[in-house]
Amino acid sequence: MAKSLALITGASRGIGNSLACAFAEDGFNIVAVARDGEKLEQLAEKLKREHGTKVIPITVDLTDNIATATQIEAVLSKEKQLDVLIHCAGIFRFGTGDLSVADFELMLRTNAIAAHNITKISLHYLRQAKKAHIFAVASIAGMEPFAPVGGYAASKHALVGYARSIARQEILNGIRTTVICPDVVNTEMASGSGMTPEQMIKSEDIVRAARFAMSLSDAATLETITIGCRPVHGSIRHQLLSLIHISEPTR
């Protein structure tokens, strides 16, 4: 019996890497998409060695819509299947009113527009799958405003709104869609949060959420999952997040 196929963006590190490893463990072959080709090759070797997984690496900058579409379409047309699509690539820039237009545009292109570009290519194959699922790994900032990170929040609000709309559009085509909105996750992206690893959500928590959504019966849908951090030193998480300043994103 042929293995199912999952396409995961941002697979070279962080949450995307953890999801790639988990889906390989669950018996999927992987199309791993990221900018860092060396890390993708390392992932491919690891998953082949540990699980016998076929990993198809695609090294591309997701803001290049034409290159992304060309490479993904070439892979999917050859594989002739896609069962799970996971949008996990994302970038962060600090700022709201003082955020540069260039940084704001880059976040929108990476965090939201790229997801549409890839979804548009993938829908044909997902609609033919026996049990298809789309995941969008967004952020708590996609559900509520945070004063210091307005541009990032806007890009994640856009992703949440887009993915939830895809959920309503594609449910009758047999595709379930789940948006996962975590608080601060223990990845390189959170290196400037001031939180200890014990205070942050783990990538494995995102994996558990995805697996839970996949485990539901065909009659059930789970459109949005929000995962918050426990309060730290008596302050609620959005007060803590207002202090975050992260210079270079990696998730």
Residue 225 has pLDDT above 90, yes or no: yes
What per-residue confidence (pLDDT) applies to 209? 95
Residue 243 has pLDDT above 60, yes or no: no
pLDDT tens-digit map of 183-208 = 877 666 655 556 666 777 888 999 99
Structure-token pair, residue 172: 């009758």
What per-residue confidence (pLDDT) applies to 2? 77
What per-residue confidence (pLDDT) applies to 58? 98
Structure-token pair, residue 5: 């196929």
Higher pLDDT, 229 or 43: 43
Q: How confident is the model at residue 249 (pLDDT cuts 50, 70, 90)?
A: very low
Residue 236 has pLDDT above 50, yes or no: no
Q: What average pLDDT does range 135-147 have in this prediction? A: 92
What per-residue confidence (pLDDT) applies to 10? 96
Q: What is the DSSP letter of 1?
A: -
Q: Which residues, 6+ apart, have CB-to-CB distance to 236 below 8 Å?
A: none
Please report, rounded to a whole number, the percentage of residues in the chain having pLDDT higher than 70: 86
What per-residue confidence (pLDDT) applies to 90? 94
- How confident is the prediction for the chain on average, in pLDDT? 89
Structure-token pair, residue 167: 């959920």
Helix (H) or strand (E) holding 156: helix 150-170
Residue 172 has pLDDT above 70, yes or no: yes
Write down the pTM of the prediction: 0.90
Higher pLDDT, 202 or 46: 46
